Amino acid sequence: MSQSSAGQDRSGTGQGVGDVDSEVVGLCRDLIRIDTSNYGDGSGPGERAAAEYVAEKLAEVGLEPQIFESRPGRASTVARIAGEDPSRPALLIHGHTDVVPANAADWRLPPFSGEIAEGCVWGRGAVDMKDMDAMTLAVVRERMRTGRKPPRDVVLAFLADEEAGGVYGARYLVDNHPELFEGVTEAISEVGGFSFTVNEDLRLYLIETAQKGIHWMRLTVDGTAGHGSMTNDDNAITELCEAVARLGRHRFPVRATKTVRAFLDELSDAFGIELDAENMEETLARLGGVAKIIGATLQNTATPTQLGAGYKVNVIPGQATAHVDGRFLPGYEEEFLADIDRILGPRVRREDVHTDKALETTFDGALVEAMQSALRAEDPVARAVPYMLSGGTDAKSFDDLGIRAFGFAPLKLPPELDFAGMFHGVDERVPVDGLEFGVRVLDRFLDAC
């Protein structure tokens, strides 16, 4: 246990957080060592082993977790903790246990080893999002051991398939077992609560209050098949590649949503300068790695990710395909799709392979106040600010149940760490002291919410 938390009283009951600081590191390492790679085509190992591990850790402290398997190997774990006042609306804490694949040859350390080096726990899922899974487990296990009930019911959900849209995880549970979330009105999960150091007197902690919507799409062009040695003015590959190049190079217009505008206002105050959403190059340069996330929230985006055509070098194929990862801002879906179709032109056939809504909520209320107070208690120079996530999370599924969602997985990070680059990148890692900070903040947050 770190010195800052030893023996602290969090609830006025004389009970502290116990061994939660030290336990979180072991839990995170254990989870990373369980390979839950999600290839998006059903070929991976699935999440069953991770679901059973989580269920065991929850059952050890007296909870009654349930495992739900939407298809063989695709498993999620859910449990409910009774609060002091069951008449109050419940809180959902959700995380996913699947991870994107990792090529070990690209990594400095084996991606599924959970090794500790340079003050960090290394491995696929270290920040996306087995760190938050471990922090949640550590806090819950200590509170259960010491009999410290949260003020209201808390539902825990450790979910499958988030990295491929949540079809076999959150979406399955929302559609088939909505009773698990009865009474839940608010939720916290990933990609929020992490720090950005402005100077020694100010650290911003970015709380996710919005996220872009999704249009993963397949593009198809039909042409005239023929012999590769002959000229062909109706080559499907040529037509498709020209369209994909136009799309990949296109820069959509800046659209400052209310969340982005609020974040820019906070940055203006932090840096003491006036920021213009239409001219953000200088500001983004000052944000370091966080700029990768923030920059993509200023506009819709469409990123080509896959190409496919042909079966033999001397045969001109009759069809060519591409896949595009499209993301749209809240309120701008129609504009986004109209722009896509205009850029692609009439020869390209577009079809969605996965879609989901954009989300946006306000940065206010008792839950936000609980986040702010918990952060400040552990970091006196903390300031919580709203921001928009450029990607998406399982919060989209829970929104269908009327659950208001926030990204709040608190981490105090060293200024030099390229945190945004850790997501789906090589050498993914999370600082040990960041994990320990996170469990202390989450414990305070549960007392305050």
Task: Mark whether 47 and 170 lie in a shared domain.
Answer: yes
| pLDDT tens digits, one per residue of 241-257 | 999 999 999 999 989 89
Q: Is residue 5 part of a domain?
A: no
Average pLDDT over residues 11-17: 38
Question: For residue 309, what are the contacts with CB-CB under 8 A and spacing of at least 6?
Answer: 236, 237, 240, 317, 319, 320, 321
| pLDDT tens digits, one per residue of 395-418 | 999 999 999 999 999 999 998 888
Tokens of 296: 């993509």
| pLDDT tens digits, one per residue of 108-136 | 999 999 999 999 999 999 999 999 999 99
Average pLDDT over residues 37-63: 96
3-state SS class at 295: helix
Domain end among 356, 383, 404 = 356
CATH number for the domain harbouring residue 290: 3.30.70.360
Over 50: is that where the pLDDT of 12 sits? Answer: no
Task: Mark whether 271 and 384 lie in a shared domain.
Answer: no
Task: Mark whether 437 and 336 lie in a shared domain.
Answer: no
Task: Mark whether 281 and 423 lie in a shared domain.
Answer: no
Task: Mark whether 425 and 372 lie in a shared domain.
Answer: yes
The fraction of the chain above a pLDDT of 70, given in percent, is 92
Domain end among 304, 328, 356 = 356
Task: Mark whether 183 and 285 lie in a shared domain.
Answer: no
Task: Give 354's Cβ-side CA count (13 Å radius).
Answer: 17
- CA-to-CA distance for 307 and 321, rounded, in angstroms? 6
What's the pTM value of the predicted model, to 2 decimals? 0.89
**Contact predicate 163/38, CB 8 Å:** yes
Q: Is residue 7 part of a domain?
A: no
Over 90: is that where the pLDDT of 54 sits? Answer: yes
Task: Give the pLDDT confidence score for residue 418 in this predicted structure.
Answer: 84
Q: Is residue 378 part of a domain?
A: yes
Q: Is residue 372 part of a domain?
A: yes
Task: Mark whether 77 and 159 lie in a shared domain.
Answer: yes
Q: Is residue 8 part of a domain?
A: no
Over 80: is that where the pLDDT of 425 sits? Answer: yes
Q: What's the pLDDT band for 272 if we cut at 50, 70, 90?
A: confident
| pLDDT tens digits, one per residue of 286-343 | 666 667 667 789 899 999 999 999 999 999 999 999 999 999 999 999 999 999 999 9
Task: Mark whether 103 and 132 lie in a shared domain.
Answer: yes
Tokens of 10: 């969090």
Mean pLDDT of the chain: 92
**Contact predicate 192/127, CB 8 Å:** no
Domain end among 356, 390, 422 = 356
Q: Which domain holds residue 228?
A: 213-356
Total structural domains in the chain?
A: 2
